[in-house]
Structures are given as structure tokens and as C-alpha cells.
Amino acid sequence: MCGVVGIIGNKPVSRLIYHALISLQHRGQSSAGKLTYDGNVHMHKDYGLVRDVFNEERKIDTPGNIGIGHTRYSTAGMDDIESLKRNAQPEYVINPFLAAAH
């Protein structure tokens, strides 16, 4: 039971995604991440609560009018720090460009 948000806008969406993730925090507390796109990919994800993964020093504001965010509720895998970091989402591939969270 994870939390997922996607936004396409006519202005930067990073703060909107951040606030949506705060609202979705109850859906997953193992890790959080977001990805924005402005022709370049800007992604930050880590284990922990949204407020700990993102703060003024940690990528709340990233450029891009397109973005997705994810909070993870760990149901599979181990709960050690390395596993939590490895399983944080979203994920993306470059060729062809595809970003996803589930």
C-alpha cells in the first residue's frame, strides 16, 4: 500500500509533488522519492519519512513541469537501510526514457 502522485503542469511541479507526498505519507513510511523532468531528469529518493528525505538542503525544489512521486510501504524484502535505499522509488531508464513508481 504505497502512495503515488503524478503531475503535469505549466509551471514547476516539484513543490506540489512534495506537498502531495506529505499528504500521502500514511500510505508508506519506509522511503520516499520524486522525479521531475525539464529535458533533464532530476531525481532524489532515500529511506525514511518525506520530511527527512526532502528538506531545504535535499531537493525540495527541482526544475520541471512534469513529475512523479512515491512513498513506499515495505511489504517485501528486508528492512535494513541498504535494502530500503535500494527499493526506494521512482525508477527510470534512459533509452527510451521511462519513469515509473508502483
Q: Which three cell numbers stand for residue 44?
A: 532524489
Establish whether 2 is a catalytic residue.
yes
User: Rounded distance, CA 96 to CA 102, Å?
Assistant: 19
> Do residues 54 and 32 lie in contact, with contact meaning Cβ atoms separated by under 8 Å?
yes
Given the residues 2, 21, 32, 35, the one annotated as active site: 2
Nearest to 68 by CA among 4, 23, 19: 4
> Do residues 79 and 31 lie in contact, with contact meaning Cβ atoms separated by under 8 Å?
no
Residues with catalytic function: 2
